[in-house]
Structure 1
Amino acid sequence: MGTIKVLESAIQNKISAGEVVERPSSVVKELLENSIDANATEIEVFIEESGMKKIRIVDDGDGIHHTDGPLLFQRHATSKISSDYDLFQIRSLGFRGEALASIGAVAKVSVETKHHSGDPVFIRFEGGELMRQSPGKERQGTDITITDLFFNTPARLKYIRSLKTESGKIIDVVQKMAMAHPKVSFRLVLDDQQRLMTKGNGNLKETMSDIYGLNVARNAVEIQAQDADFRIHGFVVRPEINRSNRNYMNISVNQRHIKNFALSQSIVKGFHTLLPKDKYPIAVIDIEMDPKLVDVNVHPAKIEVKFSKERELNHLLENAVLESMRKEVLIPDVAKKIPDRQKPVQDAIDFTQRNTFDRPRYDAPPMPRNFEGRQSEQPETVYTVDPVPTIAREEGPSPETNPPPELEEEHVPAPSKSEGEAEKLPYMEIVGQLHGTYIILQNDSGMYMMDQHAAQERIKYEYYSANITAGKTAAVPLLIPYTFEFPMNDIIEIDGKLEKLKQLGFDIDKVGPTQYAVTGYPNWIDEKRPEEDIGELIDFVSEKEDFSVNQYKEELAIMMSCKQSIKANHYLDRSQIEALLEALGSCYSPYTCPHGRPVLIHMSTYEIERMFNRIMK
């Protein structure tokens, strides 16, 4: 006699429940999706003991017709699809018909619902069995209550973390649903305490304010992009407000919240060098596309999806974020935030306009004797230089033809700017230098401090990036080749990357078992010490396991800009500071260094006066 048999439906439901209902937050997610599919405009979520005791969700949606009551808790019973063709163009959040069957198999469920064309009905379901069906209350929509979750599967309880953790996951689910559906009002109550309330007026920025706070919403920058297949809309938050994990990057596809590493990485790439290392942005982005281009039938949780044109979508999203950041003035304000109830005492200054100020000029103290633009043996702690007139930013030389000279030559390379492009830095007067490291500047809005190393890093990075990443790598020939010798364990790596080194502009050949000869090098190599730089670059390449020429060009531009920029305790004279500021003002993105650290910070006159008790508020 055979040993194969068909499992009972109750056991089948418990097995499927393990895939769909992992924890209380999974229940909340599935029920919220049902409410949204039912065209609800107001949804209330009541949680007791992190959902382990009770989960109640009330909506004003279409409700369930009383004749469908017996089918509610049957597996694969759904109103969302009717044929296999529908699986290729899913427009609803739910479609499998597994959620209520899975929940009903491991919990006690009460449903009270009324459809606009049917009678109100009340249904009680426990552990996979229908216990009661009777007339319900006359109220449009659905009121569903889940109690004693996992009461008949005690092994599942072992894998539930602390109640605090489970509550956090429920809050996260409701928040992400609210941001994906700003036209729906969400209210979350945890143990009789309201934790979340959104207006549901369709304003995504207001929804972000309800969830992340007013400061995040104020710093949110709108992004929009579209092509023949995709339309992207949402907000990204300025880089000075960031997080240490990716959980604050909210991505939805056709208003379905998803997790996709490639799309998250595209957002991070869009910020480019504006974010500090190991920091991630806050973003709320919805992507509209034809449902045929996305497959949501990948995982029971329906949070993982696959795209037909993923590369094109990633490129569009990255460029959308990049363009939105390029339009912003990203100078962080280090002053304490002014409470909302206080009115500002100064008019805001438009940093995109060039202003002139009729300010009295004051004589500055004499400069130190050793102030000659190079590091002194015993640097003074603080000194000032004479204020200078308005800095004229004229069209600089083309970076492709003029390599960046050292700062000692009183010139810093300035990337060329398109005609008519607005100034990205405000007008600032030079006050002096602090500890040979920071430049002190001022204008009518207050005081600025500029990190001279970070500023020149940005300038040199844009020069190298324009030449290296754009492929402008004409070789400089050598009459006498440079010969390099490497240890045997590096030879295999370098041998496999010779062609890619040639793509970077090196004329390099192997001339011995462990030796290489370089007969030409790219024109962006430092002409003062080419042999040293070439050796370091070959070393750098040999250590890379997964070597991509384009990725390496970017890393190379960052590395060379950092290595060749002025360091701390390096004293500059006035002409050098002027040149540095002029070149920075011509940069495409002058607000951060290539590593994401700020170049400039600002302290308003209002905050300075508050610190000296000139304003008693």
Structure 2
Amino acid sequence: MATIIKLDERLSNMIAAGEVVTRPASALKELIENAIDAKSTKIEIHLKNHGLEEIKVLDNGIGMDKTDLHLAFLRHATSKIKNEFDLAHIVSLGFRGEAVPAIASVSKMVISSKTPQTDPYFVTYEGGTFIEEGYVALNQGTEVKVRDLFYNVPARLKYIKSPQTELAYMLEVIDEMILSNPKIAFIVTHDQKTLRKTSGTGDYVELFHHLYGADVAKTLKQHQTEQNDIKIKAYLVSPQITRARKNDIVIAVNGRTIQNYTLVNSVVEGYHTHLMVGRYPIAFIDIKMDVALIDVNVHPQKKEIKFTNEYVVANLIRKCVSDAFTVQYESIPDVLKETPKPVKYTGFELWESGMDIQVEETKPRTFNTPDVTVSETKKLPLMSYVGVYAGTYLLFQNPTGLYLVDQHAAAERIRYEMIYDRLGAIKTEHKQLLTPMTYTFRPVEIDIIEQNKALIASYGLDFEPFQDSYILRELPIWLEDKDVDYMVYGLIEQLRQYQSIDLKKLRDQLAKDVACKGAIKANKPLSTIEIEHLMTQLNACENPYYCPHGRPIVISFTQYEIEKLFKRIV
């Protein structure tokens, strides 16, 4: 007797649902993708009770007729692809034909739709079983309602997180869809309260305003680059605004938002030294490329794709982001938010509250200039040295306010730029080592070295096999002995991640490490002459605002805000 049986359609759909629909957010994602594929220009998303009670997606797309509505509930029934060629050249977001039957098998689902040529019609399924159908009142487009998700799968329902968490996941999905489809107008409500509303004009400043707020949107930078068939547009928020996680780095390939560790890291690396260590930016990267160069048929949720040239794309993203933040001029961070049109009162007028108050415009003050004065350049303002706070922060002033300079961060920036320039002046000369350096590598590192031996040697590191190890007998003349390890393992890591050596990135990391070790430490007393020399060198830096690790070097307190704290201005 045969022990292998063919599972019925309903059970197969429930198994598929375990891969496709892991939580309410994944169900919502599939529904929005179907609405986008239907060529919609407006999509409404209405959630009840954090999406656990009902998820409704309404679009104005091309719609479906009565026959297509029934076929939509069948597994592997799709209008997106028809043959093997289509599978290798997918231009739609959906294509597997699994989402609707999978969702319907674990929920109570109603799909209503109307095309320009047919009357509106609806079909209802509960737990994968057909319930009813009929005509309904509906404008052109499609309305999908998903109620009581996982009602018949208690094991899955038990592991659903708190309602607030599930709503947060759904909003993340919605935000990604909004960013990757700027010309579609979205309306999102939760329990009849509007959470998102976009106009569909394609204006990314407006989109960032809606999603992240006005303060974030006004710092948005836009930059683009192109190489062969790859076009990249980067929408980047100022590095002064960061997050503790990488969730706000969104990557879209041909309109599909994806998860890719290498590409996300390339965005972080592109921010270079502008970004504080352990903090991550807000960014949207829009990639357009030939569909034949990617494979989206990798995972049921379609969040992972395979590239034929992933490292080329990663390097292009890193360069695009880096070019967008080439330093010209940046304002020093103001730690006290300034308010326009200030007015000033004298202390006596505040004391005598019953008197008529005379208002006058704030005027700049003149200060007595101490011994040390920092020369004015195009980047740092003219300011005079006042003293030191906590043995670490140098205090300066000028008619506009008070400035604090982190002496360690300033010294680190100066040394970083000096060392980076020195490493860039690579010469072909080598120096012999009195005692060869011996390295014992892991198997994966040995493979990298053997496959790229000529390339590594072209940068001045010629490894010779020696028993179970490798030895170096000579070094580039510009490389100091104590920095060799950084160079060696930096090269190997570059090759492991990107299959090529980015000398600029290698110089950057090496300069960071060396600069930090030798920089002026906190709590080290400095003489007036040393402070003047430090600030003169800082003024000459390409980027005097941030240390190589992204921490601010200079912060300011405006005169207006200081006087406001003392109630001289109200």
- TM-score normalised by the chain length of structure 1: 0.78
Name the SS for the 1:560 alignment partner.
helix
Name the SS for the 1:247 alignment partner.
coil
Name the SS for the 1:601 alignment partner.
strand
Match of 1:387 in 2: 373
Q: Is the 8 A contact 1:508 1:520 kept in 2?
A: no
How far apart are 1:151 and its partner, in Å?
2.4
Name the SS for the 1:216 alignment partner.
helix
**Counterpart pick for 2:380 among 426, 433, 450:** 426
Alpha-carbon distance in 2 for matches of 1:85, 1:543: 43
Alpha-carbon distance in 2 for matches of 1:334, 1:361: 21
How far apart are 1:21 and its partner, in Å?
1.1
Query: Structure 2 matches for 1:215-614, cutoff 5 A?
Result: 215-327=215-327, 329-338=329-338, 343-345=340-342, 362-364=368-370, 385-387=371-373, 390-391=375-376, 423=378, 425-435=379-389, 436-468=391-423, 471-472=426-427, 474-475=429-430, 481=434, 492=440, 522-523=477-478, 525=480, 534=481, 536-537=482-483, 553-614=507-568
Task: Note the alpha carbon deviations across 1:200-227, whole angstroms, 9 max, x for none.
Answer: 2211121111111111112221121112
Q: Is the 8 A contact 2:426 2:478 kept in 1?
A: no
How far apart are 1:574 and its partner, in Å?
4.7
How far apart are 1:313 and its partner, in Å?
1.3
Task: Note the alpha carbon deviations across 1:449-504, whole angstroms, 9 max, x for none.
Answer: 222221121121122122225534855679xx4x69x9xxx86459989x999887
Q: Is the 8 A contact 1:331 1:600 kept in 2?
A: no
Match of 1:615 in 2: 569
Task: Note the alpha carbon deviations across 1:394-453, whole angstroms, 9 max, x for none.
Answer: xxxxxxxxxxxxxxxxxxxxxxxxxxxxx4x13322323314533333445433222222
How far apart are 1:3 and its partner, in Å?
2.3
Q: Given the superposition, is the C-alpha separation of residues 321 and 538 from structure 1 closer, same or farther in structure 2, using an over 3 Å criterion?
A: closer
Q: Is the 8 A contact 1:40 1:62 kept in 2?
A: yes
How far apart are 1:73 and its partner, in Å?
0.5
Name the SS for the 2:247 alignment partner.
helix
Match of 1:85 in 2: 85
Name the SS for the 2:133 alignment partner.
strand
Unaligned runs of 5+ in 1: 347-357, 365-384, 394-422, 526-533
How far apart are 1:16 and its partner, in Å?
1.3
Q: Is the 8 A contact 1:66 1:115 kept in 2?
A: no
Q: Is the 8 A contact 2:234 2:321 kept in 1?
A: no
Name the SS for the 1:577 alignment partner.
helix
Equivalenced residue count is 534
Task: Note the alpha carbon deviations across 1:93-146, whole angstroms, 9 max, x for none.
Answer: 111211111111111111222111211112111222222221111422222111
What value does the CA root-mean-square deviation take over the aligned residues? 3.5
Q: Given the superposition, is the C-alpha separation of residues 250 and 328 from structure 1 closer, same or farther in structure 2, using an over 3 Å criterion?
A: farther
Task: Note the alpha carbon deviations across 1:485-536, whole angstroms, 9 max, x for none.
Answer: x9xxx86459989x9998876899999x99x9988774464xxxxxxxx3x5
Match of 1:355 in 2: none
Alpha-carbon distance in 1 for matches of 2:197, 2:432: 68
Q: Is the 8 A contact 1:107 1:152 kept in 2?
A: yes
Query: Structure 2 matches for 1:108-187, cutoff 5 A?
Result: 108-187=108-187
Percentage of identical aligned residues: 37
How far apart are 1:59 and its partner, in Å?
1.8
Unaligned runs of 5+ in 2: 344-363, 495-500
Equivalent position amino acid for 2:336 in 1: K
Task: Note the alpha carbon deviations across 1:548-573, whole angstroms, 9 max, x for none.
Answer: 68576543321221122222344445
Please say which of residues 431-440 and 303-312 is displaced more in the overlay: 431-440
Q: Given the superposition, is the C-alpha separation of residues 126 and 539 from structure 1 closer, same or farther in structure 2, using an over 3 Å criterion?
A: closer
Q: Given the superposition, is the C-alpha separation of residues 590 and 602 from structure 1 closer, same or farther in structure 2, using an over 3 Å criterion?
A: same
How far apart are 1:612 and its partner, in Å?
2.4
Name the SS for the 1:246 alignment partner.
coil
Q: Given the superposition, is the C-alpha separation of residues 508 and 576 from structure 1 closer, same or farther in structure 2, using an over 3 Å criterion?
A: farther
Alpha-carbon distance in 1 for matches of 2:463, 2:492: 20
